[in-house]
Structure 1
Amino acid sequence: MDLKETNQVQAIIGSLTPYQASLVFEFDQLPEGIPIVSITPTATPPQPPSSFIQMSADSTTHMQCIAAIVGHFRWRKVTAIYERSDKFATDSGLITQLSDSLHLFNSFVEHHLAFPHISSLSNPEDLVETELKNLKRKNNRVFVLIQSSLKFAALLFEKAKLMGMMEKDSVWIVSDEVASLLDSMTQSVTSNMQGVIGFRTSFVDNSHSFRKFKLGFRRKYSSKYPEEEEHSNPSIYALLTYDAVSATARAIQDSQGNDSHSKSVLEHLLASNFKGLSGEISFKGSKLAQLPTFQIINVIGKSYNEVALWSPKFGNGLVGEVGAVIWPGGGQTVPKGWSLGATKKALRIAVPARGAFDHFVKVSYDQDRNETYISGFSVDVFEAAVKLLPYHLPYVLVPHYGSYDEMVAGVYNKSLDAAVGDTEIMAERYEYAEFSQPYMESGLVMVVTLKPDTTKDRFMFMRAFKMDMWVLMAMMSFFTGFVVWLTEMVENNPEFRSSSVSHHVGSMIWFSVTLLSFAQRESIRSNLSRLVLAAWLFVTFIVAACFTAVLTSMLTVQRLEPSILTVEYLQRTNAIVGCNGNSFILRYLVNALHFLPENIKQINSIGDYPSAFKNGDIAAAFFVEPHAKVFLAEYCEGYAKAGPTFKLGGFGFVFQKGSPLAEDISEAILKVTEKGTINQLERHMLSFSNCSSSTGVTDGPSLGLAPFSGLFLILGGISALVFLITIARILERHPGILSFVQGTLINSRIAKWASFLLSRGYTKFGSQFSRGNSIQGPNSRINMAGDTSLGIELAQTN
C-alpha cells in the first residue's frame, strides 16, 4: 500500500503468500496485472491471483518430504507445530497437506499446535513454555516444525531443551525454512538443536557464478553486520531472491515501450528460461517447472551432516542408503517416537469379565480381602509379551462387563487405552481400533453330539485290512497253491504228460483252495514244496496275528460318528443351534452363514452347553476354534467337531488407532511364540482334561500293504524261484509240452511273441538244470531261438 503512493511499482518481490496477495488485489490497492514474486514456500490456493508467481517449491512438496522422512523411520503419528505467517491467515492448508502426505505411509497427525507470529506476542517465552508443557503430557514424541521464522525456531528449541524434550526417544523435524538457515545460526542456537533432522533445498555450490556471488555477498554482509561475519554464507533464499530480481529486471527491460506495461512484464517474467544461482529458472503456469531436490540433514555439533536425498521425481521414499543419524540424547538407535507422557499414568487395559470361557480371562472377587483377581491364558500371554518390551509399561487391568464389541468401542472412544482377552480380529472392528499380531489362530467350527455307528457292523472284519491287502492275500494264496501243486505233480507223477493238463488244472484249483489243509490230507514229498509252504505259513501266521489285533481293537473301542455332518443339514431342517451371545458369532451366523435369528439360541456359559444338548434345545453349537478345544477337552465324551472350519483373523489384543504399542506388542508376541511360551501356556490351560487319546469318532486306520510288503516280497520270491525250477524240470522231462504250448498259442495274436519269450526262458533256465543235456523228443532238436515256422510244424505234428 505504501508502494502504491509512488506510482512507480512495476513488480513486487518478497515473502508474500497467495492469501496476502489476494487481499491486496481484493481491496484494489495495486494496479491489475502487477507481478508478485514469492520466494518462500506457500500453500497455493485453488484460485491464486493471476499475477502471483512462486519462485520456491510449493509447500505440498515440503509436506511430502516430511512424510517421506516419517515413513522411512516408521513413525505412526506426529505432532505438527507451526507459526502463523501473519495475524489473518490460519495456515490450515498445511495440516491438510501434511495429513494427506502421511496417509501414504500409514501415519497421521495426532496433534497440531499453531502459534501466533512471534512479532505479535508480548511475552512469547511464556506462551511457548506453556504449550510445550501440554505437549509433554501427551505420549507422542515426534514433533514436526512445518512453518517457522528463524527467531521463533530458536526460542522453541531453547525451551524444549530446558524442559527435557530434546532427550532420548524424542524426534524433531524441521522444514526447509529453518534447515536452510543453519549456516546463518549462531552456536548458541545450534547447541539447542542437537539431533534435529530436517531438509533443505539442494543447489550447486561449486560453480564459478556461485563462488563469485558468495564473495560479494559475504563482503556486503560483513560490512553491514561485522559481528556476524562467521555466519555470512548465503542461503537458498538469498539465491532465489537474486534469481527473482534478475528475472524481473530482464522482464522489465524487455517490456520497455509496451502500452500494457504491467501485463507485458508478467508475460516476459513467466517466459524466463535461464540457469540461475538456485538452479534452472523456468515456469510452468505460475510455478517453477524444475522439481526440487532436498538434502536430508542431521544437526551435529556446530554444523550438520547430509544423510540422504529426496525429490518428488524419484518417488515417495528417500533416495539411496540413509547415513547414520545422531538423535536427540546422542543415541544412534532410531527413537520409537512416543512415551507414556510426563505423568507416567498407568494404562487402563480392559478384560472381558463375562466371557463364556473363563479359561482365557477369569475375573474373580475375594470378598474377604475386597480384591479383584484377573487371570487366564490371554492374560498370561499379554504379561509374557510385556516382559519382552525394551521399556517399562505400567498398566492396570480393568474388568469390562459389556460385550466384546462394546469393549472395542471403549478403546475407540479412548475411555480405555487397550483391551486384552480372547478378542477375535475382524474387519469391522479394525475400522475402530488397532490389533496386535494374532497370538492364537482361530476359525469358526461346529460341535455336535456323537452317536453309535451301526452301519458297518455286519462286515466289520473286512475293515481290518484295506482292500488292496485282501486282494494281494488272495492272489498270493492262489499262486502259492499253484506252485506247490505243480511241484508235487512233477515230483510224484513221473509220467506227467501234456495230454493230462486239463485233468490236472481242476485238481490244481481245488488244491489251491484247500491249501491250509493240504499238509494234513497229503504228504509233502518235495523239498521245494516244503520251502514254499513254510514261507507261506510264516507270512500267514504274522498276517493273522495283526488281523486279530486290529479286529480286537475295533471291537473294544466304541465306534462313534457325528450326529450331524454339515451346516447345510442344520439350515435345511431349521435346527436350533447355540453360540456365545456375548461375541460376534451370533452376527456371523446370521450374516455369513444365513441362519435365521429365531433358530439361534444364545448360551453364555460353557457349562450350559451339555444340558442344552441333552434337553434337545440345540442340535449343534458354534465355537471359535480355541474355545472348541477347551470345550472338547472338558466334555470329551460324546462330542466332536464336524463340518468345515470357517477361517477367521485369530485372537489379538486391542489398541487405539495409531498406537505404537500395537507394533511393539506384536513384535513381542512373535518372540514369545518363537520361544514356545504360548504352546506351553496352551498345554497348561488344557491340562485339566482327563480325556483318553484313544477316544474318537472313527475305528482307527485299517492295515494296508506297507507293513507287510517285505514279507510278501520274500514269499513271492521263493514261490517264483520254485515255480521256475519246476517249469525247467517239466521241460527237461517232457519236451512235448513245449510243442503243445506253442500250438495252443499259435492261434492267438500274441503267438509270435509268446513263443519267442517262452523259448528264451527255456534257454535261460533249462540249460541251468539240464546239466548240459540236449532236449530230446519225437522230433529232432528244437531250435530255441524262437523259429515260428518250426513251432507251426510241431503244432501240426502233435
Structure 2
Amino acid sequence: MSLIICFFVLQLLTWSRVLLAHESRNNCSRSIMSIGAVLDLSSQMGKHQKIAMQIALQEFNRLSCSKLDLKIKNSHRNSANAVASALDLAQRKKVLAIIGTITHNEATLASEFNDTIKDIPILSLISPIARSKQLSPLLPQFIQVGHDINLHMQCIAAIVGEFRWRKVTVIYELNNLFSSDPGMLLDLTYALRHVGSEIDNHLPLPSLSSLSDPKSTIESELNRLKNKSNRVFLIVQSSLELANILFEKAKQMGFMEKGCVWIIPDGIAGHLDSVNPSVIINMQGVIGFKTHFMETSDALRRFKFKFRRRFALEFPEEENINPSFFALQSYEATLAVAQAAKESEWKFTLEQLFRTNLSRNRKLQQSPTFNIINVIGKSYRELALWSPALGFSKNLVTQQLTEVMKTNTASTGVLSSVYWPGGLQFVPKGWTHGTEERTLQIGVPAKSVFHQFVKVNNTSITGFSIDIFKAAVSNLPYYLKYTFVPFNGSYDEMVKQVYNKTLDAAVGDTSIMAYRYHLVDFSQPYVESGLDMVVREQSTKSKETWIFFDAFTKEMWLMLVALHIFVGFVVWLIERQVNAELKGLGSMLWFLVTVIFYAHREQIKSPLARTVLAPWLFAIYIASGTFIASLTSRMTISQLEPSVLDIQTLQERNSPVGCDGNSFIVNYLTDVLEFKPENIRKINSLRDYPEAFQNKDIEAAFFVSPHAKVFLAKYSCHGLIKAGNTFRLGGFGFVFPKGSILATDISEALLKVIENGKAEQLETDMLSIEGNASCSPLESKTKDGSPTGFQPFLVLFCICFTVAILALLYNTI
C-alpha cells in the first residue's frame, strides 16, 4: 500500500514540473534571431566548425526563451564567395553577428560594398599574423579569435633549431589566408634566423579549389624539389585535404624515405584524430604541433559525445569522428556571441561581447601551448610540450611545464626519441646532393703575392687557404655547391664585391680588419695574424777585450771556479801531510793555476790525492776543449743581428720600406704607424723582396705574420731576419655578406678543423715545403751563438765533487 502511495506522489511531482515548464515557455516571447557563419564546408575543419556551432546554439536555445538560428554560408575556399556570403548575411539575413573563417581583408572588402557590415560584430576564427591591441578603424566590430600565427612560426623554428638544420624548404598553399597575410613568411624568416637557420627553397601550391587535377599538379610541383639538395620540408599553411594529396604523392616520389624531414602545422596536426587510416600511412615519421587543451573535464566529455553523434548523422562517410581544437574554438565563440546577445537584449556591440563573455573566458585569446607530435603506426605519439615563454618540456600530462630549456641555444634533448621517415633512428642530415642548386660564386685573389696561400692556375686553384676552406665545407651539416672565381683586384675591392652581392663570399688570405667589418661578416679566424717587420742581418763580429767570457755562461764560469778551488783544496789537505812542496798556502794557489794547463811541477805522492785529481783533470780537459771551440767560433764566424731594431729607427732615418701593394698594409703603415707615403714601396712579387734588399731599395719589409713565416722559411738563408715587435691583428678569415648564416656555419666548421689538428698539419706541410726548397748546404750553417752552459758537464762535475767529498771524509777520519 505504501509503495502505491509513493508512486502516485512521484507522478504528481513530475506532472507538476512539466506543467510549470510549459507555463514558463508560454510566458516567454519566442523571438527568433540569427547568427551568420561563413565556413568552408568542403574541408574537414569547416565540417567540424559547423557541427560545433550547431551544438552550441542547440544548448543555448534549450535554456533560453528566445531562439537563435544559425545561417551558414559555404565559401568553398574562395575569397570572392566569402565576401559575397558576408554581404548576403548582413543584407538579407539580418544576422546579429558573423562567425567563421573570414579574413580581415575579406571583411574590409565587403564593407566597401555595404556599410551595414561595419556595425555587425565579426568573429574571425583564422589565426592572424599579428594580434592588434586596438580595433581596426575600418572595421571597429572585427575581432580575430584565432591564435597569433607568429606563435606557430616560432614553434616551427623551435623544432628546426632543436635539430640544428641550417636550411629548410617552405611549402604553403596559396589560399585566402596566405594571400591576405603574406607576412607569415616574414615571421618565419625572423624566427628561423633566431635559431641559426634560413629558408633555402619555396614551394607555393595553388589552392585546392582552383585545381582541376590536383594530383598531377602537386606531382609536377614536387618534381621541382627532386634536384634540390635540401630535404627539410616545412608545411606552414595548407588545408588538410591538400596535405593528404601532398603526402600521398611525396611517398610515391621518394620524399618520405630516409634522410627526409617533414614538419606539419596545427591546421593539419590538429585533425589527425579525425582522418582516415590511409592518410596516416602516408605520413609515417612526420613531426608537427597541435594546440594543447585539457580533455578531462565533464563539459568536454559531454561536448565530444554530442559532437560524435551529430557528426555521424550528418557525415556518415567519415570513419574517425573526434572533435578538433578548431571545433571546440567554434563552440566557445558561438556560445559567447549568443550569451552576449541575450544579455544585451539582442542589440549588442563588440564591446558588450568583451565585457560579458570574452573577458571572463580567456581561453579564446590566451597564449597557446602546443603538443609536439610524431606520426607513427596507426596514429601519433606526443613527444613534448612547447610554449613561447617556456620552450620545450617533457611534461605531457599537464601544463605545469617543468625541466624547461631554451630552444635558441644548444639542443635540449627533449625530442630525442623521434621516429623519422624511412624508419631512421637518428636525426637526418636534411640534405642530399642536388643537381640544380644555385652555385655560390666565391672570389679568390688572383694577384696574391703569396701563392702558398692562394695559387690560381689555368686549370686549378690551390693553396693553404683553399685547403682550409675545403676542409671546413666537408664539416658542414649540409651540401654546399660553389665555384671559385679569380678576382684580379685588391683585397679591399674583393671585399666590396661581397658587400655588393656580386660575389657570394671570398676565400683567401684576407685579414680581418675593423674597417672591413662595417661592410661584411668574417668567419672565425683560421690562422692567427699580426704585422711583422723583416730586415737584413748584419755582422757583429766582436773585438771586445772580454769576448772570451762569452764562451761559457755565468753559471758555468761560477761552477768551474768553485769546483776547481774545492778540488785543489782537498788535494792540498791530503798532500801537505806527505809532500813538503805543498805545505804552504801559496804553493796551493800556484798549484791551482798550473794544473789547469797541466804545467804543475809538484809531484802528487798520496794515492788518495791522485784519486781526487784524476777525474778533475779529465773534466778540465773536456771543458778546455769546449772553451777553445766556442771561442774560436766566436772569433772566426760572424754573429748576426738585425740591421734595424725597431720602427722608430726607420722613421728617424726616413728609410724606404716595402709591402704588398694589394693588401691593407699600405694604409696601415701610413694611417697607424705614420710612415710617409713616399717612403713606401709596393712590391707585387715574392721574389722581388730579396732583390730590393740587395739593391738597398728598401731597408725593411712588412708582412702579416703568416706571410712572414712563409717568407723567412724560403729566404732566411739570404741574410733576412724578423725584427721589432709584432702588431697584433684579427687573423685570416673568409668573407661573407652581412647577416649570412653561412658565415656562422663555416666558423663552426673551422673550429672543428682547428681542434682536430687538420689546420696545423696543413700549415706545417706548407712551411716544410718552402723550408726544404730554400737553403743550400753552404747556407745552412748554424747561427746559434749562445754561450755554453753547465748542463752538458753536470754528470762529470757531480762525479768529481762526490770523489772529492769522499776523499775529504776519509782523510779527516
TM-score (norm 2): 0.73
Out of 629, 651, 656, the residue aligned to residue 576 of structure 1 is 656
Mapping 1:683-694, distance limit 5 Å = 683-684=768-769, 686-690=771-775
Task: Specify the code of the residue in structure 2 equivalent to 1:550.
Answer: S
Aligned equivalent of 2:570: 483
Alignment of 1:190-589 (within 5 A): 190-228=280-318, 230-252=319-341, 255-256=343-344, 263-273=351-361, 281=362, 287-288=365-366, 291-315=367-391, 316-317=406-407, 320-328=413-421, 330-339=423-432, 341-343=434-436, 350-364=443-457, 372=459, 374-378=461-465, 398-407=485-494, 421-424=508-511, 441-454=528-541, 458-491=545-578, 512=592, 516=596, 520-555=600-635, 557-571=637-651, 573-589=653-669
1:625 aligns with 2:705: yes
Cα shift at 1:60: 2.1
Residues 589-632 of structure 1 deviation map (CA, whole Å, 9 limit, x = unaligned): 45554545444322111111112222222222222334333322
Is the Cα–Cα contact under 8 Å of residues 150 and 178 in structure 1 kept in the other structure? yes
Q: 3-state SS of the aligned residue for 2:533?
A: strand
Measured in 2, the distance between the counterparts of 1:520 and 1:66 equals 97
Q: Distance in 2 between matches of 1:565 and 1:643?
A: 6
Whether 1:612 aligns to 2:695 is: no
Partner SS for 1:617: coil
Q: Which whole-Å CA distance do the structure 1 matches of 2:491 and 2:590 have between them? A: 76
| Gapped regions of structure 2 (runs ≥ 5) | 1-86, 392-405
User: 2-side partners of 1:458 and 1:613: how far apart?
Assistant: 33
Supply the distance in 2 between the matched residues of 1:633 and 1:519 (Cα, whole angstroms).
50
Query: What is the CA-CA distance between 1:690 and the residue it aligns to?
Result: 2.7
Give the Cα–Cα distance (whole angstroms) in 2 for the partners of residues 295 and 64 of structure 1. Answer: 14
Unpaired runs of 5+ in structure 1?
A: 274-280, 366-371, 497-503, 729-768, 770-798
- Answer whether contact 1:295 1:310 (CA < 8 A) is retained: yes
Letter in 1 for 2:189: S
**Does structure 2 retain, via aligned residues, the 8 Å contact 1:575–1:618?**
yes
Letter paired with 2:356: H
Partner of 2:718: 637
- Residues in 2 aligned to 1:400 and 1:262: alpha-carbon distance in whole angstroms: 65
Structure 1 residues 681, 383: CA separation in 2 closer, same or farther (over 3 Å shift)? farther
CA deviation string 1:399-442 (max 9, x = no partner): 43333444455566666566554444566667777777766554
Alignment CA distance shift 1:178-1:518 (3 Å): closer
Q: Match of 2:160, as an amino acid?
A: V
Q: Alpha carbons of 1:389 and 1:11: their partners in 2 closer, same or farther (altered >3 Å)?
A: closer
> Do structure 1's residue 14 and structure 2's residue 100 form an aligned pair?
yes
The 1:428/1:39 distance shift into structure 2, 3 A limit, reads: same
Contact 1:80-1:109 at 8 Å conserved across structures: yes
| Structure 2 CA distance for aligned equivalents of residues 428 and 344 of structure 1 | 33
Name the CA shift for 1:95/1:105 in 2 (closer, same or farther; >3 Å). same
Mapped contact 1:167–1:329 kept (Cα < 8 A): yes
Residue 100 in 1 paired to residue 190 in 2?
yes
1:342-392 deviation digits (Å, cap 9, x = unpaired):
437876655433221233444445xxxxxx455555556667778899999
Superposition RMSD in Å: 4.4
- Output aligned runs, 1:71-90, within 5 Å: 71-84=161-174, 86=176, 90=180
CA contact (8 A) 2:118 2:141 kept: no
Q: Which has the larger displacement, 411-420 or 400-409?
A: 411-420
**Cα–Cα, structure 1 residues 142 and 579, in superposed 2: closer, same or farther, change >3 Å?**
farther
Matched residue, 2:793: 708
Query: Which residue number corresponds to residue 751 of structure 1?
Result: none
SS of residue paired to 1:534: helix
Instruction: Determine if contact 1:481/1:512 at 8 Å carries over to the other structure.
Output: yes
Change in 2 beyond 3 A, CA 1:18/1:455: farther
What TM-score, normalized by structure 1, do the two folds share? 0.74
Question: Structure 2 matches for 1:606-755, cutoff 5 A?
Answer: 606-635=686-715, 636-648=717-729, 650-651=731-732, 657-659=740-742, 662=746, 666=750, 669=753, 673=758, 676=761, 679-680=764-765, 683-684=768-769, 686-690=771-775, 695=780, 699-723=784-808, 728=812
Shift of 1:467: 0.8
d(CA) in 2 for partners of 1:558 and 1:13?
99
**1:226, CA displacement in angstroms?**
0.8
Residues of 1 paired with 2:355 and 2:797: CA distance? Answer: 100
Partner Cα distance (1:159, 1:373) in 2: 43
Cα 1:397–1:266 shift into 2, 3 Å:
closer
Match of residue 172 from structure 1: 262
User: 2 CA distance for matches of 1:88 and 1:176?
Assistant: 15
* SS, match of residue 188 in structure 2: helix
Task: Give the counterpart letter for 1:98 in structure 2.
Answer: L
Taking a change above 3 Å as real, the CA distance of residues 221 and 458 of structure 1, as seen in their structure-2 partners, is farther
Partner letter of residue 563 of structure 1? S
AA matched with 1:548: I
Q: Contact 1:353 / 1:400 at 8 angstroms: preserved in 2?
A: yes
Assess, with a 3 A threshold, how the Cα gap between structure 1 residues 675 and 714 changes in structure 2: closer, same or farther: closer
3-state SS, counterpart of residue 233 of structure 2: strand
Higher gyration radius (CA): 1
The answer to whether the Cα contact below 8 Å between 1:485 and 1:512 also exists between their aligned partners in 2 is no
Paired positions, count = 701
Q: Secondary structure at 1:355's aligned position in 2?
A: coil
Q: Residues 684-722 of structure 1: CA distance to partner in whole angstroms, max 9, x if unpaired?
A: 455422356985895343222333333333333343444
Do 1:434 and 1:658's aligned partners in 2 also have CA atoms closer than 8 Å? Answer: no
**What is the one-letter code of the residue matched to 2:795?**
G
Question: Are 2:179 and 1:60 equivalent residues in the alignment?
Answer: no
What is the distance in 2 between the residues matched to 1:575 and 1:24? 82
Per-residue CA deviations over 1:136-162 (Å, capped at 9, x if unaligned) read 565544332222222343454455556
Contact 1:197 1:299 in 2 (8 A): yes
CA–CA distance in structure 2, aligned partners of residues 19 and 392 of structure 1 = 41
| 8 Å Cα contact 1:612/1:618 also seen in 2 | yes
Q: Which residue number corresponds to residue 70 of structure 1?
A: 160
Equivalent position SS for 2:558: helix
Deviation at 1:331, TM superposition (A): 3.7
Answer yes or no: is the 8 Å Cα contact 1:183–1:231 preserved in 2: yes
Stretch moving more, 460-469 or 299-308: 299-308
SS at match of 1:701: coil
SS at match of 1:716: helix
Query: In the TM superposition, what is the alpha-carbon distance from 1:119 to its structure 2 partner?
Result: 4.0
SS of match in other structure, 1:205: coil
Instruction: Give 1:266 deviation, angstroms.
Output: 1.7
**Could you say what secondary structure the match of 2:684 adopts?**
coil
Q: Tell me, in whole angstroms, the C-alpha distance in 2 between the residues paired with 1:147 and 1:413.
A: 34
Shift of 1:220: 1.4
Instruction: Determine if contact 1:35/1:266 at 8 Å carries over to the other structure.
Output: no
**CA distance in 2 between partners of 1:527 and 1:103 (Å):** 91
What's the offset of the Cα at 1:133?
5.3
Q: Kindly provide the amino acid, as one letter, of the partner of residue 379 in structure 2.
A: S
Secondary structure of 1:689's counterpart equals: coil
In structure 2, relative to structure 1, the CA distance for the partners of 1:32 and 1:171 (3 Å cut) is same
- Is the contact made by 1:446 and 1:623 (CA closer than 8 Å) also made in structure 2? yes
Alpha-carbon distance between aligned partners in 2 of 1:129 and 1:426, rounded to the nearest angstrom: 50
- Alignment-derived partner of residue 127 in structure 2: 40
